[in-house]
Amino acid sequence: MANSTSALEYAQHANTNKNLTAILATGEIKIGDIEKLSAYLRAQPYRKTVAVYLASPGGNLYEGMKLGLYFRENRIKTIVEGGEDCASACALAFLGGTDNNGQPWRSSSTNSRLGFHAFRGIEKMANADHVQKIVADMLRYGKVVDAPIDLLIQGFATPSESIFWVSSADVCALKIKLWSNDTKRFVCN
């Protein structure tokens, strides 16, 4: 499981090959993670496709959305690999996964978990206007990355101290690719 005490750490994933830069991103999402990822990518040889394998309990809401926008703008695929969790801000970043043609490309597996919940800190916010601004920012983000609106709705409906783990059936219904670790192929795309 990802180490939740430090910012995202980036390392080469075993799936890297002559056509794919595969990056493992583990840890908590914190401000500055985009700059670290950008620097990491600049140090890699050019390859046609880039994919980020996410394993994170979450972290900073806005950095998660910025990371998702970075994935979208740079046409980076997102994957939650078997046995790993991607929740909260990580799940929002995951939604930015995009293929080389600019189409959404997000993949989970039959034994990984993708989790959403309401953002934290509402009890500390001074007024409803601040809460409404955050909701509007999240909806705008969802529109830009072509996120399944049902995931955002379910996230808003799940208390911040809980997590809605997306079932394999829901992953397919939401047009997220689902990799079967048993059959070694996509169950749905």
Domain 9-188 has CATH 3.40.50.880: no
- What the block records as the tokens of 77 is 């695929």
Res 152 pLDDT > 90: no
Report the chain's mean pLDDT, rounded to a whole number. 90
Res 107 pLDDT > 50: yes
Give residue 126's pLDDT.
61
pLDDT tens digits along 57-105: 999 999 999 999 999 999 999 999 989 999 999 999 999 999 999 999 9
Long-range contacts, 98-103 (Cβ 8 Å, 24+) = 98/71, 98/72, 98/145, 99/75, 100/48, 100/49, 100/75, 101/75, 102/75
Maximum distance among all alpha carbons in the chain?
52
Give residue 112's pLDDT.
95
The more confidently predicted of residues 86 and 173 is 86
Give residue 3's pLDDT.
41
Give residue 121's pLDDT.
57
Q: Which residues is 9 bridged to in the sheet? A: 26
Give residue 72's pLDDT.
97
Q: How far is CA 147 from CA 104, 110, 123, 140, in A?
A: 8, 20, 27, 10
Q: Quick check: 49 and 61 in contact, CB under 8 A?
A: no
